[in-house]
A and B are shown apart, each in its own frame.
Chain A
Amino acid sequence: MLKILNLDAGYGALRILKGISLHVAPGEAVAVIGANGAGKTTLLKTLAGVLKPREGQIVFDKQDILGWPSEKIVARGCCLVPEGRHVFSSMTVRENLLLGAYCRRRENDAANLQESLEQVYALFGVLKERSNQLAGTLSGGQQQMLAIGRALMSRPRLLMMDEPSLGVAPLVVRDIYETIVTLKRHGLTILLVEQNARAALAVADRGYVIETGQIVLQGPSRQLSDNPEVQRAYLGKEYRSIDE
């Protein structure tokens, strides 16, 4: 579904991604894990068309989308749930969700839209309860759900998520990850970027470890979870208190 070859990207003189190659097969959930500043967000921003890459190849659904504007990429079925949610806080939950379907405005009739809304509400009951509430009044976890719901309104085939567990209460993280499992079961292809390696590897089929803009490890999630370097660096294993 998604194939990336030798992707190079950065900001100004700063080179962040140094030749990243990865792929996501249809129906797969793939996790990209790495420390803060490794290039995870830059990767997703580049894929979403927010950031223009310097070099490389991005093939989505057999089409080279390198350099495409975001709205065209979304319309093609590849949607990003950004880090930090970025919901429109002065708009209602419902309005936020409807904005997510903006790219479908031409094909949409009201019934279609309503159907999409109901699907999102079925997934996140709390959004239905609060559909007329201002998004800014939601908790961090609820805002994350709203951000995911908004992305789903564009009816993507590939959902990209940037740190869905960031700034969310641990219990809610579990809810969000359960939702990801549900979405995957419904056949949605998922590319997930996370510092929370444990959560991400638990739902993903495969994973990539990114370090200073390069992939240094890849493989089935189970193999990554069992890799001692991943365990030490990202899973908090072998932690010892100082006096030990």
Chain B
Amino acid sequence: MYNPKCETMPREELRQVQLERLQSTLNRVYRNVAFYKTAFDGHGVNLERIKDLQGIRELPFTTKNDLLKSYPYDMFAIPLRDIVRIHTTSGATAKPIVVGYTQNDLRNWRECAARLLTAAGVTQQDVVQIALHYSLFADGFGFHQGAERIGASVIPASLATSVAKQIVIMKDFKTTVLASTPSHALNIAAGLMEAQVPPERLSLRLGLFGGERWSDPLRRQIEERLGITSIDTYGPTEILGPGVAGECHLRHGLHINEDQFIVEVVDPKTLAPVPMGHEGELVVTTIMKEGFPLIRYRTGDITRLNPEPCACGRTFLRMERIIGRTDDLILVRGVGFFPSQIEEIVREFDGISPYFQIILDQEGGLDTIQVRVEISENLPSLDEVKAFESLRLQIAARIKEVLDVEAKVILLEPGSLRQFTGGSERVLDRRPG
């Protein structure tokens, strides 16, 4: 255990610590962040009435939309000059959520990531290859800092390295731990097969995965094809990045770093708290963050909490692996986007009707995305096959440019998609699990 004193804290002590940290966070955001002052005042919240952890329920929720509207810095609780790092969420929308970290935020993040890696079984003997974004997104950095903190040897392979090269590194550098998205792990597995490298010839023993929802069958597939034990982690960038929660070696749910976060599960429709252990939307309040604190943030992720003590000795609550999403955010290979963004892109092109359909599927375990669009009736030079092909490729290139997603674009006859106007009908998810 990385920090046994903290991770095995008796629940009663933890409640006191959480309450103190919640109260001071609330006092601070009320003073420093206009959004929260307006929100609390608007809901008639008297912060002094929040005298126990249940009191958190009197506070209004914060949504992803609120954060998007705060672009770029309106949610920061500290002047920009005190921010030492800036990350953004992935291209989920045209303008991302901008997240600022202070020196202390980075320190706590390192600590959380170090706990997560230690719980997974990573030690200073390990060689950790990080095949994640090292860019605006927080993913790679979270694992990187945590692994350095516990003294492992870190290879920042990133996603700029091709799969083939990734495999060479893995083999030659004797990588023991891989950190990536589940779908990228499958890319690597496919690459191994292509290069005729059986997993037994690698030193790989452990994989840490996050950044997208992955089913249990997919999990088994990754474990088999890479010959590893897999560990699920949770950490949206807007909350912190990798390190919010993670499985211990027993792999029965993800321990939440409750000294840093207060979690609730609510019914996504009524927003009322569900009974402990029931399914609902995960709501997170940060209680140690200085730069970008969040109060009752609706993650959109569906899960359940498990209050049973874990055999590993940690007293922190566990959440189940993410079951689903409340909204229609589409996650493909670690990149998230909304159908509305596809719509925006499609609308940019002349000769295309606003009707479209997104079909998600899997091929050989990898996510595929197909965007079907309809030609409008008044498209000139209809008979030009070359023009069609060029239009098709232009749309695909634009999607790649804006969303960083490799989509297959299919053009259809006018009128063939008109029935798919509703939000949910426009997306067909055929992926297993």
Are B27 and A214 neighbours in the complex by a CB distance under 8 Å?
Answer: yes
The answer to the question of B406 belonging to the interface, with a C-beta cut-off of 8 Å to chain A, is no
Are A223 and B82 neighbours in the complex by a CB distance under 8 Å?
Answer: no
A25's nearest neighbour on chain B, judged by CB, is: B13
The answer to the question of A229 belonging to the interface, with a C-beta cut-off of 8 Å to chain B, is yes
CA gap between A16 and B38 in the complex, in Å: 25
**What 0/1 pattern do residues 280 to 308 of B give for CB contact below 8 A with A?**
00000000101000000000000000000
The answer to the question of B172 belonging to the interface, with a C-beta cut-off of 8 Å to chain A, is no
CA gap between A215 and B19 in the complex, in Å: 11
**What 0/1 pattern do residues 5 to 38 of A give for CB contact below 8 A with B?**
1100000000000110111000000000000000
- Listed by A's residue number, 12 A-B pairs whose Cβ atoms lie within 8 Å are A5-B51, A23-B20, A208-B20, A209-B24, A215-B23, A215-B24, A218-B20, A219-B104, A223-B108, A227-B290, A228-B78, A228-B103
Are B78 and A219 neighbours in the complex by a CB distance under 8 Å?
Answer: no
**What 0/1 pattern do residues 1 to 18 of B give for CB contact below 8 A with A?**
000000000000000110
B46's nearest neighbour on chain A, judged by CB, is: A19
**What 0/1 pattern do residues 78 to 93 of B give for CB contact below 8 A with A?**
1101100000000000
Are A226 and B16 neighbours in the complex by a CB distance under 8 Å?
Answer: no
Contacts of B81 in A (CB 8 A): 228
A199-234 with Cβ < 8 A to chain B: 208-209, 211, 214-219, 223, 226-229
CA gap between A219 and B28 in the complex, in Å: 14
CA gap between A153 and B145 in the complex, in Å: 49
Extra A-B contacts (5), CB below 8 Å, given A23-B20, A218-B21: A19-B23, A19-B51, A22-B20, A216-B31, A219-B104
The answer to the question of B48 belonging to the interface, with a C-beta cut-off of 8 Å to chain A, is yes
The answer to the question of A130 belonging to the interface, with a C-beta cut-off of 8 Å to chain B, is no
CA gap between A208 and B27 in the complex, in Å: 13
Size of interface on B: residues with Cβ below 8 Å to A: 24
The answer to the question of A104 belonging to the interface, with a C-beta cut-off of 8 Å to chain B, is no
Q: Given B27, B78, B79, B104, which contacts A216 in the complex, CB threshold below 8 Å?
A: B27
Which of B17, B21, B23, B82 has the largest count of A CB atoms less than 10 A from its CB? B23
Given contacts A223-B107, A229-B82, is CB(A21)–CB(B19) below 8 Å?
yes
Please report whether the interface of chain B is mostly helix, strand, loop or mixed according to DSSP: helix
Are B16 and A23 neighbours in the complex by a CB distance under 8 Å?
Answer: yes
Q: Given B20, B24, B27, B104, which contacts A223 in the complex, CB threshold below 8 Å?
A: B104
The answer to the question of A3 belonging to the interface, with a C-beta cut-off of 8 Å to chain B, is yes
B20's nearest neighbour on chain A, judged by CB, is: A21
CA gap between A223 and B289 in the complex, in Å: 11
Are A19 and B48 neighbours in the complex by a CB distance under 8 Å?
Answer: yes
Shortest CB distance B201–A (Å) = 46
Are B27 and A215 neighbours in the complex by a CB distance under 8 Å?
Answer: yes
Are B103 and A218 neighbours in the complex by a CB distance under 8 Å?
Answer: no
Given contacts A5-B19, A228-B82, is CB(A217)–CB(B107) below 8 Å?
no
Given contacts A216-B27, A223-B104, is CB(A229)–CB(B51) below 8 Å?
no
A84-98 with Cβ < 8 A to chain B: none
Contacts of A226 in B (CB 8 A): 103-104, 107
The answer to the question of B102 belonging to the interface, with a C-beta cut-off of 8 Å to chain A, is yes
Are B28 and A217 neighbours in the complex by a CB distance under 8 Å?
Answer: yes
Shortest CB distance A41–B (Å) = 20
Are B48 and A18 neighbours in the complex by a CB distance under 8 Å?
Answer: yes
Contacts of A219 in B (CB 8 A): 104, 288
B31's nearest neighbour on chain A, judged by CB, is: A216
Contacts of B104 in A (CB 8 A): 219, 223, 226-227
CA gap between A219 and B16 in the complex, in Å: 13
Shortest CB distance B71–A (Å) = 23
CA gap between A16 and B23 in the complex, in Å: 17
Contacts of A223 in B (CB 8 A): 104, 107-108
Q: Given B19, B51, B102, which contacts A228 in the complex, CB threshold below 8 Å?
A: B102
CA gap between A3 and B17 in the complex, in Å: 10
A6's nearest neighbour on chain B, judged by CB, is: B51
Contacts of A209 in B (CB 8 A): 24
Contacts of B51 in A (CB 8 A): 5-6, 19
CA gap between A6 and B78 in the complex, in Å: 26
CA gap between A217 and B102 in the complex, in Å: 14
A215's nearest neighbour on chain B, judged by CB, is: B24
CA gap between A219 and B103 in the complex, in Å: 14
B261-290 with Cβ < 8 A to chain A: 288, 290
Are A3 and B16 neighbours in the complex by a CB distance under 8 Å?
Answer: yes
CA gap between A5 and B81 in the complex, in Å: 35
Shortest CB distance B86–A (Å) = 16
CA gap between A230 and B340 in the complex, in Å: 44
Given contacts A19-B48, A226-B103, is CB(A215)–CB(B78) below 8 Å?
no
Contacts of A18 in B (CB 8 A): 48
| Shortest 7 CB-CB contacts between residues of A and residues of B | A228-B82, A6-B51, A215-B24, A214-B27, A223-B104, A19-B48, A216-B27
Are B48 and A217 neighbours in the complex by a CB distance under 8 Å?
Answer: no
Contacts of A227 in B (CB 8 A): 102, 104, 290
**What 0/1 pattern do residues 99 to 142 of B give for CB contact below 8 A with A?**
00011100110000000000000000000000000000000000
Contacts of B102 in A (CB 8 A): 227-228
CA gap between A39 and B69 in the complex, in Å: 37
CA gap between A211 and B30 in the complex, in Å: 13
CA gap between A185 and B107 in the complex, in Å: 27
**What 0/1 pattern do residues 56 to 91 of A give for CB contact below 8 A with B?**
000000000000000000000000000000000000
Are B78 and A229 neighbours in the complex by a CB distance under 8 Å?
Answer: yes
A59's nearest neighbour on chain B, judged by CB, is: B16
CA gap between A27 and B343 in the complex, in Å: 62
Contacts of B79 in A (CB 8 A): 228
Shortest CB distance B17–A (Å) = 8
CA gap between A6 and B50 in the complex, in Å: 9
Contacts of A218 in B (CB 8 A): 20-21, 24
Shortest CB distance A204–B (Å) = 15
Shortest CB distance B295–A (Å) = 15
CA gap between A228 and B103 in the complex, in Å: 9
Shortest CB distance A231–B (Å) = 9
Are B82 and A215 neighbours in the complex by a CB distance under 8 Å?
Answer: no
Are A216 and B28 neighbours in the complex by a CB distance under 8 Å?
Answer: yes
Shortest CB distance B84–A (Å) = 10
